[in-house]
Amino acid sequence: MSHAVPTEKPSNPTNPRVFFDVDIGGEKVGRIVLELFADVTPRTAENFRALCTGEKGTGKSTGKPLHFKGCPFHRIIKQFMIQGGDFSNHNGTGGESIYGDKFEDENFHYKHDKVGLLSMANAGANTNGSQFFITTVPTPHLDGKHVVFGQVLKGMGVVKILEAIETKEDPCIISDCGEHKDGDSWGVELDDGSGDTYPEFPEDAEVDFKDVDKVQSVAEDLKNIGNTLFKNQDWKGAVKKYSKALRYLEFGGDEFDEEIQKKLEPVALSCFLNTAACKLKLQLWQEALDSCTEALELDKKNTKALFRRAQAHAGLKDFMSHLKTNTIHFPFAAIIGEMKKVHLKIQEEKEKEKKMFAKMFA
């Protein structure tokens, strides 16, 4: 009989903890801290713990270090799971356990009934080695076939980032791993000098997301930090804070009905508008356009969003859209300069075409 995984984290304070530090495309993303259910699956938990520390030396079957360090997440399926643990072949065909090549299914005590569960990957009954997966949605069809032996304590935001990655384009690597002891970093602390004290991902924050005022306050704090960075012309840093504020708003918004969610919209609107302004400064025209579109979904007649959208169109050399936007929405003097620029650009493009065709038929 399978049982639901305990909702308390950790489920048992005496259970061991391990960590993965994760890189994507060579850049550090964050830390995942996992609890291993040694009280229910001691043999499976010990296999995983030792593979995190690398203490067992070299594998007899693979001839490779029994260690997850440097190992990729080789298989990622959105709305399902992220899979890793093949330290020998890096493609899902290798790996081995600390007990030899394979070992038996210990039990199916826990169900795959929520996100963030750690379970053994296998090729059928009693074929457990070193490969594992972390669920990103409940996966009840795996119950009775794969051994659930742990859960994510911190770093679910990192798991979500991994879930969205194309592994062929951006390698997702366990850059470091080991046993997580009392006093060790949970990987959610922030010290970037901006005054931001909130974890990078709302899943790791000690915030009551059922309290709309608290969620709004956190988002306002992050937006204001972004504004300070904007004033200092740190466009990329500002975008990070606006994006972070939006993550907190989105995470908190799931807890509220539509009427209460409207209380959060002004902060979200400011973040989209300010992000668009930063993207324009960085000449990331399409990304600026996307941010304007998000802003206009909240306020269809917002003049800042319309104006910045027009600037993004100009940057993309979509001059007619730019001219149309300004003509329809901005019948005031401040826009005349922009319109003159557009007419000039259109004329320049026409002249380029004339010269090009002249050469072709010379």
Residues designated as active site: 75, 80, 83, 122, 133, 142, 146
Residue 18's identity, in one-letter code, is V
Q: Is the Cβ–Cβ distance between 72 and 171 less than 8 Å?
A: yes
Distance of CA 49 to the CA centre of its chain: 25
* Count of Cβ atoms closer than 10 Å to residue 182 Cβ: 6
Task: Report the alpha-carbon distance of residue 9 to residue 140 in Å, rounded.
Answer: 21
The residues, ordered by sequence, that sit 6+ positions from 354 with a Cβ below 8 Å of its Cβ are: none
264 sits in the region (left: phi over 0; alpha: psi -120 to 50; else beta) called alpha
The residues, ordered by sequence, that sit 6+ positions from 316 with a Cβ below 8 Å of its Cβ are: 285, 286, 289
Q: Is 255 exposed, middle or buried (0-12, 13-18, 19+ CB in 10 A)?
A: middle
Identify each DSSP E strand in the chain by its residue range.
17-24, 27-36, 75-77, 81-84, 117-120, 132-135, 148-154, 172-179
**In whole angstroms, how far apart are CA 233 and each of 160, 228, 243, 279, 309?**
30, 9, 17, 12, 21
Number of H helices, E strands in the chain: 10, 8
Task: Report the alpha-carbon distance of residue 258 to residue 264 in Å, rounded.
Answer: 10
